[in-house]
Amino acid sequence: MCADRQHEARRQTLPTSPSKTTKPKQKKQKKQQPERQSAGSPAAGAGAAGGSEAPAMTPTERALPIRLNVDDSDSPSDVVDALFLGRFATGEQPYARSHSVDRVKSGLTLLPQGARVLRSARDDDRSAVLAEGDGWTVLISRWNRGADVTVTAVAEELADKVLRQAVEDAEDEPEPQPENVTMGFWYVSPRRGPYRTTRQISAGTWPEIRANYTAPVAEAMDQLMKVTPDDIAGRLLLLHGPPGTGKTSALRTLARSWRDWCQVDCVLDPERLFNDVGYLMDIAIGEDDGSAKGRWRLLLLEDCDELIRGEARHTAGQALSRLLNLTDGLLGQGRNVLVGVTTNEDLERLHPAVVRPGRCLARIEVGELTRTEAVRWLGTDEGVGRDGSTLAELFALRRGTTPASVPAQPSGSDAGLYL
């Protein structure tokens, strides 16, 4: 759940005049467009239709007038969003408070006590409700199970009170299950920017899945699963090896093993993380929450081959440098942050700076099971390769399924020459 965001504005008198235009051949205009005009400009002093004079503008209005332009491409929800800004923009209600709820309890409207609904709009994938009370206005934007609630008010204390009424006990907290662990997921949202959501995922215990890994990997994982904050020497956790060997499954179990002292977050767009400094700072620095003081965080970056291979300095630019700075540079100082990276690259192809001694908490090559281990796991040697099998291949054999494939083309075939 994201922390509350606080905003304050100076009291100003800013005119807000929505206008309806139909311009199907023109590009969509921004919802809120500030227009700086001098007192004697034509736009500021033009009369209304019929030659009547427009009302005189105050100095504040002349300095920063605001006009909301709405065209046929805007949805009703867009209009509701724009209308909500009016009292905050004018300074009538200069205090704003916001809060996000990942999973809203069924049946809740999130309307504070005494709310009067002014506008309500529903699109295919979201809805928006604009309501007001004595000295405050609330905008409730909902999507799927989640919601954003924003309140503006005439006083700071009132904004806090109304927001608390709207979102208190609104989060649908599922009953904790022993096999479940809470994981966070970071991504950049076009609407909200860097955003974190959480969900419960199932994860087996290490003894339950230990047989899925070849002996050297299992022994290394034995030690990793027992790590405590006092054991942390390096900040980088590296799992590398062919696809289908169980790297992701091991990380889920690691999240369960460490859940008493470490929060595990998966970054869904790692290629963007290290190329966007603002995004990186939001994740790395986070917000100081007294309840989580001393708690570690593990950021998972999956399939980051281009980021950490040997030629990464040339292909990934500053991304590799920022990754290393987060693990043991100035950026990571004072923050209990670990970084877990999975890759399909061989150890020999990894950048030397990534695997140097002292940087990695663990560096484990997750390979396929030997033939003996695979036969023991499957209970038969039917379908097991001479050199062994990956975990994914063994599960496919157990289910009696094989991936769809295209028959090999005869030598000299012209297949593939035409589109």
Point out the domain boundary residue: 323, 347, 365. 365
pLDDT of res. 257:
95
Residues 74 and 147 in one domain: yes
Within-domain flag for 346: yes
Within-domain flag for 269: yes
Which residues span the domain enclosing 32? 5-41+54-167
Within-domain flag for 383: no
Within-domain flag for 173: no
CATH number at residue 218: 3.40.50.300
Residues 72 and 191 in one domain: no
| pLDDT single digits (tens) 188-214 | 988 778 888 888 899 999 999 999 999
Residues 352 and 328 in one domain: yes
Give the global pTM: 0.64
Which contacts qualify for 257-262: CB closer than 8 Å, 24 or more apart?
A: 257/205, 257/206, 257/225, 257/226, 258/227, 258/296, 258/298, 259/181, 259/182, 261/228, 261/229, 261/295, 261/296, 262/295, 262/296, 262/297, 262/298, 262/338
Residues 35 and 140 in one domain: yes
Using CA atoms, how far residue 392 sits from 329, 343, 363, 373, 386, in Å, is: 37, 16, 22, 14, 16
**Do residues 240 and 289 lie in contact, with contact meaning Cβ atoms separated by under 8 Å?**
no
Residues 195 and 161 in one domain: no
Within-domain flag for 238: yes
Q: Which of the two residues, 141 and 405, has the higher pLDDT score?
A: 141
Strand order in the sheet with 66-70: 16-20, 66-70, 33-34
Structure tokens at 364: 């484990």
Beta strands at 16-20 and 127-133: parallel, antiparallel or unpaired: unpaired
| pLDDT single digits (tens) 5-58 | 444 433 333 344 444 443 444 444 444 444 433 333 333 333 444 445 556 655
pLDDT of res. 222:
97
Within-domain flag for 374: no
Number of structural domains (the chain) is: 2
Beta-bridge partners for 130: 119, 139
Point out the domain boundary residue: 167, 200, 226. 167
**Do residues 258 and 203 lie in contact, with contact meaning Cβ atoms separated by under 8 Å?**
no
Residue 326's CB is within 10 A of a number of other CB atoms, namely 23
Average pLDDT of span 250-258: 95
Residues 141 and 283 in one domain: no
| pLDDT single digits (tens) 357-387 | 778 899 999 999 999 999 999 999 998 989 9
Residues 109 and 153 in one domain: yes
